Amino acid sequence: MMEELIEALQILAKYAKPKHPTHCEHDVLIVLVDPEAVSNKDKIRLVELGFFVGEEFPGCFTSFRYGSA
């Protein structure tokens, strides 16, 4: 599972270099990368890795897979 998280972050790192790239809330990990900047191929892989673009946190990628303790 750690390898999948690292792969997802490496994909997202190609598209943005924010000073504070992540945000965590209860059971959710948010990565502050604009989904519009990410290629469709990478978006598909990110979904496979547990990340999605949700309505609750628009303009970024969200995962419940990696946000839980």
User: What pLDDT, on a 0 to 100 scale, did the predictor assign at position 68?
Assistant: 67
The burial of 2, by beta-carbon neighbours within 10 Å (0-12 exposed, 13-18 middle, 19 or more buried), is given as exposed
Closest-CA residue to 61 (of 69, 41, 36, 14): 36
User: What pLDDT, on a 0 to 100 scale, did the predictor assign at position 69?
Assistant: 62
CA distance 24 to 16: 18
pTM reported for the whole predicted model: 0.90
What are the extents of the domains in the chain? 2-63
Yes or no: say if 15 and 43 are a contact pair by the CB < 8 Å rule. no
Residue 48 has pLDDT above 70, yes or no: yes
pLDDT digits (tens, 9 = 90+) for 7-40: 999 999 999 988 999 998 888 999 999 999 999 9
Which run of H or of E encompasses 61? strand 61-63
